[in-house]
Amino acid sequence: MIYKPKDILKRLSENEYAPIYFLFGPEVFYIDQITDYIEENALPESQKGFNQIIIYGKDAGINEIINNAKRFPMMSDRQVVIVKEAQGIQDFEQPASQELLNAYIQNPLPSTILVLAYKNKTPDKRRTFFKNIEKHAIAVESKKLYDNQLPDWVSQYIIEKGHEIDMNATQILVDYIGNDLERLSNEINKILINYAEKVLITPGIVQKYVGISKDYNAFELQRAIGVKDIVKANRIVNYFSSNVKTNPIIPVIALIFNFFSKILIIHKSKDKSQNTLAKLAGVNPYYINEYIHASHNYPLGKVIQNIHYIREADLRSKGVGAGSMKESEILKELVYKLLH
């Protein structure tokens, strides 16, 4: 059985531990959260010196990991062995190593908690190793959230911290950062550290502590492009050009790409009701009119053409076919092509 991260976090909070955890998937936030919880709570502080071992995958082979897992605890009921960056274990795929690992998975030492944090990758679920993990251990898959799940995630995360956030501030965070939960949580924590008492997070608070300029930011550029405000769009692009370090091009391109992808969805949808369009595009219904209005400004053919321009600019921003063009020049050219 493959478990969801929140189910395992609940079990851990109830002091329910298993001999083996295999944490995997592209979303590192939950992998780190489970790993950190076990590292911080499975043993009292006084027992960690003798009974808690932290290993990094690139520094150890399967044999060393298994030998540590088979060690008995000293003056304690359990020991903890955590393998961080387990995807970097060099001999992980070798047949002899797989045999060792499979043998231990089928007969683990009950007094050991072995955690394998296998980040940014998903193993072949058809292999004997994974089938043994499902049968004898705790397999936890950490998936990326869809864009339409992010606002609820942000809101819930902040509520669990004892605070609240309004809808506009949520959308700003989601649009600015995207579905990187680790970065989202870091930015939220950066905001909350400034407030000892319960606070309602507003757009102004987000702009102040996340470092988003009120008038010159990627969201305002998106809105200017959406309504075809050429003067404002050029003003923002010029500001970005003079502040390249604080306004890197790749996140801006990603935001614009998501914007036109949503407009494309609106064009393709047969059901033009606001609720349906909001659901399909993964947009809060409160903001869907902004995208509908943009779809009127950009016919389907122009949207497809703009997505081509955006992909071209993305490649250039990463050094493919850019020649001597600077980031600022790439962005200026892109915005001109989008608007004309």
Contact between 133 and 104 (Cβ < 8 Å): no
Q: What are phi and psi of 45, to 5 degrees?
A: -55, -35
Pick the CATH number of 2-141 from 3.90.1170.10, 3.40.50.300, 3.40.50.1950, 3.40.50.2300: 3.40.50.300
The candidate with the shortest Cα–Cα distance to 169, out of 205, 193, 220, is 205
**Alpha-carbon separation of residue 66 from 60, 121, 129 (angstroms):** 10, 22, 14
Round the CA-based radius of gyration of the chain to a whole number and report it.
24
CB burial of residue 194 (10 Å; 0-12, 13-18, 19+): exposed
Bridge partners of 21, per DSSP, are 115, 138
In terms of Cβ atoms closer than 10 Å to its own Cβ (0-12, 13-18, 19+), residue 249 is: buried
Q: Is the Cβ–Cβ distance between 262 and 294 less than 8 Å?
A: no
The region that residue 200 occupies, defined by phi over 0 for left and psi between -120 and 50 for alpha, beta otherwise, is beta
Alpha helices in 269-299 (DSSP H): 274-281, 288-297
Q: In this predicted model, what pLDDT tens digit does every residue of 251-298 receive, in sequence order? A: 899 999 999 999 999 999 999 999 999 989 888 888 899 999 999 999
Place of tokens 């614009």: 256
Please give the distance of CA 35 from its chain centroid, rounded to a whole number.
16
Q: Contact, 23 vs 140, CB < 8 A?
A: yes
Please list the residues that pair with 117 across neighbouring strands.
Answer: 23
Q: Copy the structure tokens of residue 29.
A: 């936030």
Helices (H), the chain: 5-13, 28-41, 48-51, 62-69, 95-106, 128-136, 150-160, 167-177, 181-192, 203-210, 218-226, 230-242, 249-268, 274-281, 288-297, 300-317, 327-339
Question: pTM (2 decimals)?
Answer: 0.72
Distance CA 221, CA 230 (A): 10
Cα–Cα dist 262/256, whole Å: 10
- Tell me: the pLDDT tens digits for 227-263? 999 999 998 998 888 777 777 899 899 999 999 999 9
Question: Residue 310, exposed/middle/buried by CB under 10 A (0-12, 13-18, 19+)?
Answer: buried
Instruction: Select from 1.10.8.60, 3.40.50.2300, 3.40.50.1370, 2.120.10.30 the CATH code of 147-210.
Output: 1.10.8.60
Range list for CATH 3.40.50.300 in the chain? 2-141
Count of CB atoms situated within 10 Å of the CB of 328? 17
- Per-residue pLDDT, 148: 81
Evaluate whether 144 touches 175 at the Cβ level (below 8 Å): no
- CATH code that applies to domain 218-339: 1.20.272.10
pLDDT score at 40: 97
Is the CB of residue 52 less than 8 Å from the CB of residue 39?
Answer: yes
Per-residue pLDDT of the chain (340 residues; tens, 9 = 90+): 899 999 999 999 999 999 999 999 999 999 999 999 999 999 999 999 999 999 999 999 999 999 999 999 999 999 999 999 999 998 999 999 999 999 999 999 999 999 999 999 888 899 999 999 999 999 999 999 988 889 899 999 999 999 999 988 898 888 778 788 999 999 999 999 999 899 999 988 998 888 777 777 888 999 999 999 999 999 899 888 877 777 789 989 999 999 999 999 999 999 999 999 998 988 888 889 999 999 999 999 999 999 999 999 999 999 898 888 888 899 999 999 999 9
The pLDDT of residue 113 is 98
Could you tell me where in the chain the CATH 1.10.8.60 domains are found?
Answer: 147-210
